[in-house]
Chains A and B, each alone.
Chain A
């Protein structure tokens, strides 16, 4: 048995010895360096670019401006392509643009023999602009008269969706209802993977190859083809190890431009190696979303009617667009019951960095708003927040009529029980009730809703290939990517389990090369263990049956009497080992009568989804005069089904919790109101939590096997980042009686709120 064990990561040794190769470690010799000339205004048009001084810099090979690139508008979102034009992503990007829409937009690129020459020449390009007024706030951008970013989207509204069920008027007319109507706000934050985005392109045989730090090699291949206007078969993407992604690399970033740049220098290798400052504001960011939530409820805590207005800040280009706000609406609609429900969701262009996918895709935003709101209702009612939630949470047996997803278990109840036990909920709720001093403590919690993969919103598919080696080991090739989460390791475990060999006998081809790796969509939507697992199981079974067919011929026993266990062909009933797999593979491959290269390949299309639930509990200490919050203790409890590798699952939860700590208490990208210029796009001024900012992190699980999943598993990649911020916010409320309705809850925000509430 390989599944369910904390086997060591297959890449751990390479990563601790410096052997693991990332994009910047494998640039071909003589690779040229490209630097991008970026707009120094937030909104306008490039009238001219004078490159004469830049051309004189020794080492400059070529300068390409926005007036030179092909006018092939392309989408960048890392979604599967849709053959239905109505479901395709918005194609609003050019490789370089004369119409600039945020401070830092791409107007020209300098290619030089080294980084310093390229950077110097980029600084010497003189760009003349016609400046337009700009808008930074998404709600202001919707108003009449606001500066317009894209002609096709009046009032900057990329998309507006609304829906409702039940009879709202009838529901709210019930006598004696209470109502809470409140706004909540979330900031622009960035992924901050420690490896910046980097890519390198070169030509071979009339085709272009891009080595890239991406989560989605097969999708990037299609987008590079679209951007160049080339047949997709002429594009090859290679994805080596990557230094984190968190959704930022679930987008085509600079691969299209890099591919174009090699074509203008005769196919010589060209790299685009982003700086940290560029990564912060010129790759992708998380959507800042503002919410108005209204809940009508009875005095016993029963929710009757719920509504949401949602305003999502898209930034300058569509990227993943409204998908983020839309996912948030699903979570909001389904997590709590009521008689009537309605929402209005807007995604709005602004002259700010482009928002794309970021870990948990809208759910950290809506969960902060929703779980803060629930807590505020509990305070109004004087009710225990857990009791209020339990009264209204999605019922066991609930079926999503759109996706067919079923809530099979009382996951929330079980997770809450573990979490409250860990934090000492009952005792601390009582103990911290009537504090008066300057330093006070509190406990708070939050639940969350998440799903697994993207079916039926879009295609879910994964292809896998397994090749049997002469020694009885296998190569596993799959389009799903290792981005740090441990995917390769759990893939190896699932393959070993299916075929019947020890996990050390599975060699995962970690690097995806679109010329040879079977098609897969890549790392997003917490889909890979679920959907990739289906492809691995199906392909493993095919391989196993091929092996057993040969074993039957060699042993003279019928196939159904044979099995593979621990790398040996065994008699099913007696358990007797008949031959080892290496002997069989060698015999078959070199047979002079019937040689076969034993391999299997298959595609699995997944047409299901699965709920992944859980909660976070936090204990804080608030120094009121200093406006400082210290998280003393925090735990996440997840029901992500059966754990494939408990130790790696725990590690995944730690990382998400860490991101939630930053989201709650410190992280926010800031922009100059007068110019739109980013103010803190570096690690000194944008603080991600360091080791001293963390308490010990608790991670626990409830393992209800997911019936739709071959190994009983479901989403865990993103959910850990979801519930932490509202749990901390609710703990601050418990400690101080002050509700903070926007994150990050920095001393600046706390000072204003504590002053308003008369605490200081």
Chain B
């Protein structure tokens, strides 16, 4: 087994671990950093349950090698809560709008939602449908997820 040391920032903290060079970023985050919000639903980039932010952009971490994370900044759902313990506005919107059911696709979707929120752009509901279409959810029909997204974006624009 070939290994390599990967230095990166995870949820704002500089870290390093020596990993199997074959490991995916999802494997590293789950197995070496116990960040179990990173869910594995397909292992091949089809379902979006493992999405994380890498330098502010959303990726399927199951098809991104751990060694590629060298020098990057990774954010998972575990990194979103404020220092005061309050939920991030996107998390809060998911809770309020019953956008969560089994919860397995939720962390990945929240990361995509966060990147949309951070973009500063406005989206129509139809545009939001396209933006989240890399995520599969079998529980919600996406209805309340879209509503939660709209709510969080509206709050952002209203400075709430």
Contacts and interface: CB of A to CB of B under 8 A. Distances in A.
A276 B43 contact: yes
Question: Which size bracket describes the interface of A in this complex?
Answer: 35 or more
A416 interface: no
A116 interface: yes
A195 B39 contact: yes
B18 interface: no
Contact of B95 (A8, A688, A692): A8
A242 B102 CA distance: 7
Contacts of A196: 41
Contact of B138 (A17, A655, A657): A655
Given A246-B138, A654-B140, A195 B107 contact: no
A592 interface: no
Contacts of A16: 77, 87, 91, 94-95, 100, 103, 106-107, 110
B39 A243 contact: yes
Contact of B140 (A9, A14, A655, A696): A655
A740 interface: no
Nearest to A196: B41
Contact of B36 (A21, A191, A684): A21
Interface residues on B, range: 35 or more
B65 interface: no
Nearest to A276: B42
B144 interface: yes
A723 B81 CA distance: 41
Contacts, number: 167
Contacts of A194: 39, 41, 47, 49, 102, 104-105, 136-138
A683 B134 CA distance: 11
B40 interface: yes
A691 B138 CA distance: 11
Contacts of B91: 13, 16-17
A241 B37 CA distance: 13
A485 interface: yes
Contact of B141 (A25, A241, A654): A654
Interface string B104-145: 111100100000000000000100111011111111111111
Contacts of B144: 651, 654
A20 B103 contact: yes
B102 A193 contact: yes
A18 B136 contact: no
A330 interface: no
B55 interface: no
A241 B143 contact: no
B40 A24 contact: yes
A9 B100 contact: yes
A626 B96 CA distance: 41
A648 interface: yes
B141 A658 contact: yes
Contact of A17 (B77, B134, B141): B77
A677 interface: no
A192 B98 contact: no
Given A194-B49, A195-B39, A654-B144, A17 B87 contact: yes
A18 B141 contact: no
B80 interface: yes
Contacts of A123: none
A121 to B, nearest CB: 15
Nearest to B108: A194
B154 interface: no
Nearest to A243: B104
- Which of A661, A682, A696 is packed against the most chain B CB atoms within 10 Å? A696
B46 interface: yes
Given A18-B78, A194-B136, A12 B94 contact: yes
Contact of A244 (B80, B128, B139, B142): B139
Contact of B22 (A15, A116, A697): A116
Contacts of B49: 194
Contacts of B22: 116
Given A16-B87, A24-B40, A683-B46, A696 B106 contact: no
Contact of A683 (B47, B87, B106, B128): B47
Q: Most chain-B CB neighbours within 10 Å: which of A6, A15, A654, A697?
A: A15
Among B22, B36, B132, the one with the most A-chain Cβ atoms within 10 Å of its Cβ is: B36
A694 interface: yes
Contact of A18 (B37, B42, B94): B37
B95 A193 contact: no
B90 to A, nearest CB: 8
Nearest to A687: B136
A691 B78 contact: no
B146 interface: yes
Q: Considering residues B35, B40, B78, B138, which has the most beta carbons from chain A within 10 angstroms of its beta carbon?
A: B138
A647 interface: yes
A143 interface: no
Contacts of B76: 18
Contact of A692 (B36, B96, B110, B130): B130
19 contacts: A9-B98, A12-B94, A12-B95, A12-B98, A13-B95, A16-B110, A17-B78, A24-B30, A194-B138, A241-B102, A244-B139, A484-B104, A655-B138, A655-B140, A658-B138, A661-B141, A688-B138, A692-B130, A694-B142
Given A648-B98, A651-B98, 4 more contacts: A243-B41, A246-B138, A691-B146, A694-B142
- Identify the 10 closest CB pairs spanning chains A and B, nearest first: A18-B37, A484-B102, A243-B104, A15-B103, A658-B141, A683-B46, A654-B141, A25-B36, A484-B101, A691-B129
Interface of B: 22, 30, 35-44, 46-47, 49, 76-78, 80-81, 87, 91, 94-96, 98, 100-107, 110, 125, 128-130, 132-146
